[in-house]
Amino acid sequence: MQPHPAQYPALATPVLVIGAAYTGKSELAHRTLDPHRKTLVIGTADMSEGLIAARVQELKRQRPDHWVHHDGKLDLASQLRTLAPDYEQVLVDSINQWVANLVLTHAQKYSLEQLAPLCEREVFDLCAAVEETKHRTRIVLVSSEVGAGITPPKPVARLFRQLVSRINCRLAEHAAAVLLVSAGIPLLIKGEWPNLPQ
């Protein structure tokens, strides 16, 4: 039995939405927010890629016109701390793209041995920023599940998979509600559906 649409924006915050690629995570995350509230969307995608840019534009068209969009490629924790207090709701879409940006940017300057702890420090800082802001701003985070399937042959790709899986685990610890999307079907794996007023 699927939940009532009004139950999604009433889920306790922070909300983490996870699942495989193109299963409807971003659309579901949208449903966990009140369309009438002052909302910031922090996007992390590389807009230089045509298909990704087209997907982002499609998602923007689905969102209310008054929602503000911000590019948050790298310094996500700092942006959350700085920007979130001015908004009632913040949507971060997506964590896995942010980790990809970190890995690709820093891989040019650091070895793999240096890269892992550097990126993990960024992850811990993001979790801290979520904790600091969740009491005054509704936070919804979107991330992909990347751990299933064949192990990537290249070390950098394996590091990316490892980091995304670890951050998903850490963010799930901090989240009040975790929604897993599989084949377009949402499943609440942490938290409880709120009761609607009679």
What domains can you pick out in the chain, each with its CATH number? 12-190 (3.40.50.300)
The model's pTM is 0.93
CA distance 153 to 137: 41
- Edge-first strand order for the sheet with 177-182 is 68-71, 39-43, 89-93, 138-144, 15-19, 177-182, 185-190
Which tens digit of pLDDT belongs to each residue from 54-81? 787 887 888 999 999 998 778 899 999 9
pLDDT of residue 69: 94
- Average pLDDT of the residues in 84-90: 97
- Average pLDDT of the residues in 184-196: 94
The band of 148, judged by pLDDT with boundaries at 50, 70 and 90, is confident
